[in-house]
A and B are shown apart, each in its own frame.
Chain A
Amino acid sequence: MGNKKVQVAKSDQIQDPPSNDNDNWVLRLYVAGQSPKALTAFRNLKIICEEQLNGKYRIEIIDLLLNPQLGRDDQILAIPTLVRKLPEPVKKIIGDLSNTERVLIGLDLLPRF
């Protein structure tokens, strides 16, 4: 796990970018250490959020290696998993988010076909 060059999976970096009071979107990314897949997922997530959510979002990153008990509540099996906590309903997107179209469908930003 301990690849210290890139700092992603730390709970104190949850607010990234700084939250507005009227966050419309709360996205939680579950990772297990700073694996290449986790880093890829985080990068992809940031790009998508920047492009689509217009600054009205908050990303929480949870490292299950540090806080394994947090995986239970969201029923996390696959890593990485992105959970859309808000707006409801809760959605789960698994994988490194490299398929942008699937991510947008998963976030209900694109209609399902």
Chain B
Amino acid sequence: MKREPVQPLFSTLPKTATGIQGLDEITGGGLPKGRPTLVCGNAGCGKTLLAMEFLVRGATQFNEPGVFMAFEETEKELTTNVASLGFDLDELSASKMILLEHIHIERSEIEETGEYDLEGLLIRLNLAIDSIGAKRLVLDTIESLFAGLPNILILRAELRRLFRFLKDKGVTVIITGERGDEMLTRQGLEEYVSDCVIVLDHRVNEQSSTRRLRIVKYRGSSHGTNEYPFLIDETGFSVLPITSVGLTHAVSSERVSSGIPRLDAMLSGKGFFRGSSILVSGTAGTGKSSLAAHFASAACLREERVLYFALEESPSQILRNMRSIGIDQEPWVNKGLIKFHSNRPTFYGLESYLTLMHKAINDYKPEVVIVDPISSFIVGTNEFDAKSMIMRMVDFLKIKGITGFFTSLTGAGSDLEHTSINISSLIDTWLLLRDIELGGERNRGLYILKSRGMSHSNQIREFTLTDHGVELLDVYVGPDGVLTGSARIAKEAKEKEEKLLRQQEIERKQLDLERRRRSMLAKVAELQDEFEAEKKETLQAITIEEERIKSFQQQQVNLARSRKADTL
């Protein structure tokens, strides 16, 4: 598991990368190479662990062997303690990458009888370093010498010699020390270690504890001076750089679907920008999580990975609820495309939770991160902290190019456009879900409050949850305002009725026309019949007349014949 050494933010003296998540970023590349670094803090703040991880990462990632000189714990105890963090010291010892040595000092067994020095310790260190060619060394904690050896004057002189010896050896050393009342360490170890001093702290605020790390001093190198939260979990240490983040991230112009065609249409037809941050705010029960579920499913359809931080519901509860509106996420979960992280941030403390999120995101490498809802980061009066935390989270996602989808619960009665955490300026696309109360009922409305970098719809859409997901519908804007729900349905019915009436009118007119045409035709037929009849009569009459003329002529001939008239 080789890792590229972190590119130092600040160049300068040679440094030894620790391999600890985040620490190399804030120290600009690691600890001063070939020099001692003091790590101090109260009991239980993680000094030994930091030191041990420094060695383990050195051995596994940078191929640098290391020696751990334990003054308080035996080899076996140490091995057991760090096994819970996934460090297999037995294996590393066997491959001569790490050497554990327990130095036992017991005041009651030691009688001081005159001049002495600590050559024995130096010889032992020398032997240990040379036996595996160590490049790294941990002394945990050298303060035990003060408890074991009574002569402080000799001890101080010898410590000075010890550190000179270590510098000559060229090993990079971590010395741990217990935090003192006035000084950084009880025994003033900082006076020997002038190169780099790191203070670890463990604070309880609002009943949740946060571990913090601060670099007090780093000679010859610029370094972050803030307190950085850190986390110790099953994979070791991770430090979270807060403010080394600059606004230099590249942005994508690729668009991703929201999972709701109508909503995509409202967002200039294509949906959100990839890598942007999306906020859905609204009062309780307005369907924020449902929108999130749609978005998650759309991402899964694109074969993208979704990391879902559920701060108020368990995964099974979310799955069940989403099934009820026809979104079945279980196949995606089984396929490994959706991963849920369900826990209350108050359980960890804000900083720890952020560190946890960072770790989860780094491990899972999702394309989409959903946080539902970010408003639960606020407990009591930590609004400022929560805002800064969310700001860092948003920045982190942007740098990684991950699309962030956040929901935020707006308290009843509070200003809708005032997100409880005042983070609107961080957000690229803000969808507002609101209740519309009208005609004795409550309906959901959705509109786009803002969406950076695209022309988006300015319309309110009515928003319904059906058994096949979210549907966006047009709303009616009447003289009384926006119509939704039953009022909309009533309006629709009325329109339908009017339409029907008009239809009927048309049909009636058409029938009328038809009838008139038919009556006209009938009249034509009648006239024709009449005409035919008259024609027939007339023709008969004509025939009769012709007969008469014929017979008249015949009679004339006959008469002439009888009178023997002259032939003309």
| Contacting pair B105 A77 (CB below 8 A) | yes
Check: A55 CB closer than 8 A to any chain B CB.
Answer: no
A61-77 vs B: 1/0 string, CB under 8 Å?
Answer: 00011001101100111
Assess whether A79 is in contact with B118, with CB atoms less than 8 Å apart. Answer: yes
Asked if B113 and A96 sit within 8 Å, CB to CB, the answer is yes
| A residues 60-113 touching B (CB-CB < 8 Å) | 64-65, 68-69, 71-72, 75-82, 90-99, 102-103, 105-106
Inter-chain contacts of B117 with A (CB < 8 A): 37, 78-79
Q: What's the Cα separation between A112 and B353 when bound, in Å? A: 56
A44 to B114, CA, bound (A): 11
- State whether A81 touches B111 (Cβ < 8 A): no
Residue of B nearest to A97 (CB): B113
* Contact A78-B118, Cβ < 8 Å, known A98-B113, A105-B111: yes
A102 near B111 with CB under 8 A, answer yes
Chain A residue numbers with a CB within 8 Å of B417 are none
Q: Does B109 lie within 8 Å of A68, measured CB to CB?
A: no
**A68-B126, A75-B104, A75-B105 given; A102·B120 CB < 8 A:** no
**Residue B123 at the chain A interface, CB threshold 8 Å:** yes
Given A68-B127, A75-B105, A77-B103, do A97 and B120 touch, yes or no (CB 8 Å)?
no
Instruction: Write the chain B residue with the least CB distance to A41.
Output: B114
Complex partner residue of B120 from A30, A69, A90, A93, CB under 8 angstroms = A30
- A76 is contacted by which of B101, B124, B148, B149 (Cβ under 8 Å)? B124
Contacts of A30 in B (CB 8 A): 120
A32 within 8 A of partner (CB): yes
With known contacts A37-B116, A78-B118, A91–B111 Cβ distance under 8 A: yes
Q: Which residue of B lies closest to A79 (CB)?
A: B119
Q: How far is the CA of A93 from the CA of B114 in the complex (A)?
A: 10
Closest A residue to B145 using CB positions:
A77
- In the complex, the answer to whether B120 meets A71 with C-beta atoms within 8 Å is yes
Given A64-B119, A75-B105, does the pair A94, B113 have CB atoms closer than 8 Å? yes
State A24–B8 Cα separation when bound (angstroms): 64
Interface centre among B113, B114, B123 (most CB of A within 10 A): B113
**B121 interface contact, C-beta 8 A:** yes
Q: Which of B104, B109, B113, B115 contacts A102 (CB 8 A)?
A: B113
| Contact call A32/B126, Cβ cutoff below 8 A | no
**Contact for A78 among B101, B109, B120, B127, CB less than 8 A:** B120
Q: Which listed residue, B105, B112, B124, touches A71 by the CB 8 Å rule?
A: B124
Complex contacts, A41 vs chain B, CB 8 Å: 114
Interface string of B98-142 (1 = CB under 8 A from A): 000101110001111111111111011011000000000000000
The size class of the interface chain A forms with chain B is 20 to 34
Query: B149 near A93 (CB under 8 angstroms)?
Result: no
Structural contact, A94 and B105, CB atoms closer than 8 A:
no
Evaluate whether A92 and B111 lie within 8 angstroms (CB atoms) in the complex, with A77-B145, A78-B120 already known: yes
The reply to whether B119 and A94 contact each other, CB–CB distance below 8 Å, is: no
Establish whether residues A75 and B113, one from each chain, have CB atoms under 8 Å apart when the complex forms.
no
Contacts of B110 in A (CB 8 A): 92-94
- Assess the B124–A78 pair: CB atoms within 8 A: no
- Complex: how many Å from CA A71 to CA B217? 36
Q: Which of A20-41 contact B (CB under 8 A)?
A: 30, 32, 37, 40-41
Q: Which residues of B contact A68 (CB under 8 A)?
A: 123-124, 126-127
CB distance B123 to A102 under 8 Å?
Answer: no
Instruction: Provide the residues of chain B in CB contact with A97, threshold 8 Å.
Output: 113-114
Residues of B within 8 A of A92 (CB): 109-111
Q: In whole angstroms, what is the CA distance A72 to B121 when docked? A: 9
Return A53 CB to nearest CB of chain B, in Å: 16
Interface contact B113-A106, CB-CB below 8 Å: yes
CB neighbours (8 Å) of A94 from chain B are 110-113, 116, 149
Please name the residue on chain A nearest to B148 by beta carbon. A77
- Inter-chain contacts of B124 with A (CB < 8 A): 68, 71-72, 76-77
Pairwise interchain contact B123-A99, C-beta atoms closer than 8 A? no
Say yes or no: A69-B116 contact (C-beta < 8 A), given A91-B111, A93-B111.
no
A sample of 17 more A-B contacts (CB under 8 A), given A77-B148, A78-B116, A79-B116, is A37-B116, A64-B120, A71-B120, A72-B124, A77-B103, A77-B120, A77-B124, A77-B145, A78-B117, A78-B120, A79-B118, A79-B119, A79-B120, A81-B120, A82-B113, A97-B113, A102-B111
27 contacts between A and B (CB under 8 A): A32-B123, A44-B114, A64-B119, A64-B120, A69-B127, A71-B120, A71-B124, A71-B127, A72-B127, A77-B105, A77-B121, A77-B124, A78-B116, A78-B118, A78-B120, A79-B116, A80-B116, A81-B116, A90-B109, A91-B109, A92-B109, A92-B110, A94-B113, A98-B114, A102-B111, A103-B111, A103-B113
The 8 closest A-B pairs by CB, nearest first: A106-B111, A95-B114, A98-B114, A76-B120, A79-B119, A96-B114, A95-B113, A32-B119
